[in-house]
Structure 1
Amino acid sequence: MELFTREWGSGDRRAVLVHGAMSDSRNWRTVGPALAERGYHVVAVDLRGHGHSPRAESYTAELFAQDVVDTVPAHPELVLGHSLGGLTVSLAVERLRPQRAIYVDPAFSGPALTRWQRMLAPAFLRNLTRASAARIAKRNPRWDPADVAIEVETFKAFDPAVIPVLITPGSLRAPEQMHVPSLVVLADKSQLVKPALADRLEEAGFEVRIVRGSGHTVNRDDFPGFMTALDGWI
């Protein structure tokens, strides 16, 4: 599937940005221009079932990855993915063959859930997509109001049929090896990359950095801290 894209800059270097679940390319509204100022031509996608990209009959992590490969230029200098986008990048990286990859609090595992919580998760996530701006702002007190407004819109555009990908055991998994030089930027007390997994990634060659005090959407919680975490990689 060819995805909707949003672009910033016209530099010689290319960067590909992949958002997380229930979001879209506007998640990168501050990151895209910042990379453009550093000489990148930035391409950010809307994954299938998100934003302005089409909904689909099927959703799997592998299909998300194939869509990205089919949409963006090969061999970018940088590819960066957040959450589900991080998982997507990890499955696409061998075909995209970027010079560097950055994973932002990637969905390499799911939060620890009891069987009962797993049963309730689809209803919880569907209810989350109906959240008001006031509720989103309360849950994310550090966000700019523009990001809160965008979140309301992206929740409405999100296809709930994606939800099984997010909660099915085995759907979320960390890469076994590093294919290109890679940085993992984690939220403080990440629920998706716990310390033991972070240690395993470091043993495999990944560099791991934590943005202290940030939540899951690191770039929206602490944009300066996020950009500092990218030092040496962009």
Structure 2
Amino acid sequence: MKLNIREWGTGDRIALLVHGIMSDSRTWRRVGPALAERGYRVIAVDLRGHGGSGRGEYSPGLFAEDLVETLPVGAELAIGHSLGGLTLSRAVDRLLPRRAVYSDPAWHFARPEEGFDPAVFVQFAAAATHDTIAGMNPRWEEADIQVELETLAVWDGATALGLSALAEQAGLPAGAVVPSLVQAADPSFLLSPADQETLRERGFEVRTVTGAGHTIHRDDFDGFMGSLEGWI
């Protein structure tokens, strides 16, 4: 599936941005312009079932196939957050960016032993209000809260059901296909300290953004950008 995209900047140096579950390309409202100021042409996708992209069947494999169909090969930089990090990791061997950044990636999104129910995403989206989002994310700017409300309104909750397959397939990557940075929230409910050490052993650089929640780029934009030093 060809995905809807949003772009900032111009030029030959390309950066790719892939959002997480329930979100869309608007989540990068500060990151996109910041990378454009650094000389990148930035391309952010809406994953299938999100934003302006089409609907259909949902699975980790299909999300990855869509990236390959939509995005250029050999970009200077690719960043994926949460589900977008998992999706990027499953497409990176075909997209082959020069550098990849996985921002609190969902490699253990749904551990079966934890009894995780993907339906909680649907329930949250149905009940979400300005106050509940603000209460859960006290460090977000008002613009981020509004974006969250807008993206939830157009999100296809059926995408959450695809996470059931993820529960069976989840696991840390065997190695870094390209030079790769992992950003971890503090604490991260997706990457345990043991996970982070395993990733280092497998060739990833791991950096923690102190005090940041799961959506690092919205929780602590300056910390997010600072942790990319040497990678952008």
The TM-score bracket by the shorter chain reads over 0.9
Cα shift readout 1:37-62 (whole Å, capped 9, x = no counterpart) = 01000000000000110111x11111
Q: CA deviation at 1:165?
A: 2.6
* Residue number in structure 2 paired with 1:229: 227
> How much identity, in percent, do the aligned residues show?
54
Indicate how the Cα distance of structure 1 residues 171 and 50 shifts in structure 2: closer, same or farther if over 3 A, else same. farther
- 1:11 matched residue in structure 2: 11
TM-score by length of 2: 0.95
Which residue of the other structure, out of 154, 157, 162, is the alignment partner of 1:160? Answer: 157
Q: How much is the aligned-residue C-alpha RMSD, in angstroms?
A: 1.4
| Aligned partner (choices 161, 177, 180) of residue 178 of structure 2 | 180
TM-score (norm 1): 0.94
* Aligned mates of 1:156, 1:173 — CA distance in 2: 31
SS of the equivalent of 2:44 reads strand
1:209 to 1:216, Cα distance in 2 relative to 1, 3 A? same
Deviates more, 1:103-112 or 1:61-70: 103-112
> What is the CA distance between 1:124 and its match in structure 2?
2.2
Q: 1:129 aligns with which of 118, 125, 142?
A: 125
What is the match of residue 218 of structure 1?
Answer: 216
Answer yes or no: is 1:86 the counterpart of 2:85.
yes
Aligned residues: 230
Q: Measure, in 2, the Cα distance between the counterparts of 1:59 and 1:112.
A: 19
* DSSP 3-state at the match of 1:102: strand
Residue number in structure 2 paired with 1:100:
99
Note the residue ranges of structure 2 that are not aligned, 5 or more in a row: none
Tell me how far apart the structure 2 counterparts of residues 37 and 205 of structure 1 sit (CA, whole Å).
30
Q: Which residue number in structure 1 is paired with residue 187 of structure 2? A: 189
Moved over 3 A (4+): 111-115
- Secondary structure at the aligned position of 1:52 is classed as coil
- In the alignment, structure 1 residue 36 sits paired with structure 2 residue 20: no
Query: 1:167, CA displacement in angstroms?
Result: 4.2
Q: Distance in 1 between matches of 2:133 and 2:64?
A: 28
Q: Which amino acid aligns with 1:163?
A: A
CA shift digits 1:77-97 (9 cap, x unpaired): 101100000000000001001
Query: Partners in 2 of 1:171 and 1:38 — Cα distance?
Result: 37
In structure 1, what is the Cα distance between the partners aligned to 2:134 and 2:11? 35
The separation in 2 between residues aligned to 1:227 and 1:46, in whole angstroms, is: 22
CA contact (8 A) 2:118 2:163 kept: no
Displacement of 1:73 after TM fit? 1.2
The equivalences for 1:103-122 within 5 A come to 103-110=102-109, 117-118=115-116, 121-122=117-118
Query: Does the C-alpha gap of structure 1 residues 78 and 171 become closer, same or farther in structure 2, counting only changes over 3 Å?
Result: same
**Offset, 1:129:** 0.6
Aligned to 1:145: 142
Structure 2 residue matching 1:87: 3-state secondary structure: helix
Amino acid across the alignment from 1:9? G
Letter in 1 for 2:161: P
1:59 aligns with 2:55: no
Please list the CA deviations of residues 190-214 of structure 1 after superposition, one character each: whole Å capped at 9, or x if unmatched: 1111111111110011000000111
**In structure 2, C-alpha distance between the alignment counterparts of 1:108 and 1:123, rounded to whole Å:** 18
Q: 26-35 or 123-132: which moved more?
A: 123-132
Deviation at 1:29, TM superposition (A): 0.5
- The offset of 1:122, in angstroms, is 3.8
| Shift, 1:68, TM fit | 0.7
